[in-house]
Structure 1
């Protein structure tokens, strides 16, 4: 067997977007076409939505708009908005974000500064726009490469952040979003964040009682043995009951 050359020329250094695009499974799991609930295209949606959820958790923005049409995903929240001078950095510099600062985010779902950058790198088209205190900043990317850096302008829009992306079909081949999978994800978000409203493709999703509502939705209330027990503290929430079946079902959530 011929000896394989292993020299200085064999060593490569990848920039942030090249590494994500070369090894996407490290960042978003499966590269399926959307026919399974855990396919990567749903992780992309979740990574952006998590940032909007974090704004709600921090007391900013009680409504999130989510629109999924064909291959286009649009998410608009009404939180504080990304600081305008850092809009580009927050979506294109790895390990960069506001969640390392416990003063800005006492609690958050996303913690590692990678999620939004992975969505950017794995999208054929990605745009982010922040609205903050009467000013706005927008940037557009293609496969993680900045193609349009718009200057700050005045705006009358409410504070918050808007992201629109198209997952790259050279990576997620022949993909499509199944609305039922997205709807299930959104129900879990509102169950875990009582008081939050998510508008998904024109339909409002809302939960007033959190995990109590989750059990009510997923249990035949006529067959349960006693009313649902619901306990809620600052960092933990529990809802439980017993039904007629022999098996057990658990819905467990950690860190939102």
Structure 2
């Protein structure tokens, strides 16, 4: 006979407790490294949002040997006004509430930097960090607050004055949650460099390395072509278009030989398995050439002929998607 099911059988988790009980639901696998690195991309994604909204031009990330991560930006800083509905500052609400992040100010566009295109806000980062400290420069003041495992352990303190704006988020992932708290520095560096290519007006820094890729995707294509031994005078074609809220950026060049190398991105995320944007690139290339001999080629032959030596990059920005079903 089944055990009785009464009201006291129901467990209600408060605040960010659910994140610590089932962390994989929010950031991914806590054993294979994907969940650990998700913490970085939530904080970095907050800065990319600000940059896309025209509010930040610099992103700096520092990893130290003690396992701390620091992310700096020159944006407007986190808001510090009192949240009437919670009785705490907006900053504290952002770091202790699910899905409360950059979009609280209603800015557009908004992206998620994880491969699943999912974002959970800064609250889970706080919940899954043994320690987290936020410093924000706003309205001529510097404010600081500390958290441990998703709970504020200090009030919002005014610690100085500043003539600049920006924020600093410093956190140490919780070894009680993650099997390893060691980050793959090479992977983080590569991803940050990608973001510099995709956001040419954003200066990106990781520890001592600084990336300023003002030529955007054209710089990425040149870097790939240079690795093939291309001549510095290699012409690079580039184009940008926007229609119905979708923005597409393309850069391409042909080296002397080699299999086609086509890098595709959607909303700042590398699409390893291709997608409709890659198919659209090939269709657009065929239309661009507009030669009778080209029109006569089958698709497979066209890609074989014009793919030889091709180096290209495509980035599609769909920053206000409409979902027809839940995301998983």
Q: TM-score, normalised by structure 1?
A: 0.86
Q: How does 1:33-182 map to 2 (within 5 A)?
A: 34=33, 39-70=34-65, 71-85=67-81, 86-99=90-103, 101-102=105-106, 105-110=107-112, 114-156=120-162, 158-182=164-188
Partner of 1:21: 20
Q: Give ranges in structure 1 of 5+ residues lacking alignment.
A: none
Alignment: residue pair count: 248
> What per-residue deviation string (whole Å, max 9, x for no partner) do you get for residues 10-29 of structure 1?
32121231111111112111
Q: How does 1:183-222 map to 2 (within 5 A)?
A: 183-219=189-225, 220-222=227-229
Residue 264 (structure 2) pairs with residue 251 (structure 1): yes
* Counterparts in 2 of 1:54 and 1:134: CA distance versus 1, 3 Å: same
* Counterparts in 2 of 1:128 and 1:144: CA distance versus 1, 3 Å: same
Q: Secondary structure at the match of 2:13?
A: coil
* CA RMSD between the two structures: 2.5
Distance in 2 (CA, whole Å) between partners of 1:7 and 1:128 is 42
Residue 249 (structure 2) pairs with residue 237 (structure 1): yes
Moved >4 Å (runs of 4+): 110-113
* Counterparts in 2 of 1:152 and 1:100: CA distance versus 1, 3 Å: closer
Distance in 1 (CA, whole Å) between partners of 2:105 and 2:77 is 16
Distance in 2 (CA, whole Å) between partners of 1:96 and 1:61 is 19
Q: TM-score, normalised by structure 2?
A: 0.68
Residue 238 of structure 1: how far off its partner (Å): 1.4
Distance in 2 (CA, whole Å) between partners of 1:8 and 1:108 is 40
Distance in 1 (CA, whole Å) between partners of 2:213 and 2:229 is 21
The higher radius of gyration belongs to 2
Contact 1:120/1:141, CA 8 A, preserved across alignment:
yes
Distance in 2 (CA, whole Å) between partners of 1:202 and 1:157 is 25
Residue 196 of structure 1: how far off its partner (Å): 1.3
